[in-house]
Amino acid sequence: MKIPHLLTTLALTLAPALAGPGHGATPTGPNGGRLLTTMKPAVEFLVLPDRRVRLTFVDGAVVSPGDRTATVTTGDRRAPVRLTFQPEGESLVSENPLPDGRVFPVILQIQSLPGEKPALAKFQLDLSMCGGCKKPEYVCSCEHTH
């Protein structure tokens, strides 16, 4: 009788750890993209329907990109894809789309002034649809485990 009780206790104790990492609601920007608050000003990372990326700078309100430049390195680590950006309205938009696939690492580099060291943000981009909030996982607004 003690062994089944011990196994049940062990299973209940380990279940959260084995379920995988969870996440809380992802902060979103004014256009519904992921808000990267570790950068100053914050940067909204939004994947457009054509898979190009829009970067919008937010400091309480949307601010002009000014002279900022940006690059994104993503895709397969053995053959990475580098995206460059051009100004479009109050944002920077990638000239080319993201590579095929749903989940890949992203390294975003933002340079405010020529010659200045770029600010970096690294994250996993997951374009899979969340079953709870029905948004892409990279902007998921519900709290769940994967």
Instruction: Name which residue leads in pLDDT, 119 or 141.
Output: 119
Residue 57 · residue 70 · CB < 8 Å: no
pLDDT for the residue 67: 92
pLDDT band with cut points at 50, 70 and 90 for residue 114: confident
The helix (run of H) or strand (run of E) holding residue 74 is: strand 69-74
Domains and CATH numbers, the chain: 28-126 (2.60.40)
Mean pLDDT score, 106-130: 93
**pLDDT tens digits, one per residue of 34-47:** 999 999 999 999 99
- Listed in sequence order, the residues at least 6 apart from 109 whose beta carbon sits closer than 8 Å to its beta carbon are 70, 71, 72, 73, 118, 119, 120
pLDDT at 11 over 50: no
pTM: 0.80
The predicted model gives 75-93 an average pLDDT of: 95
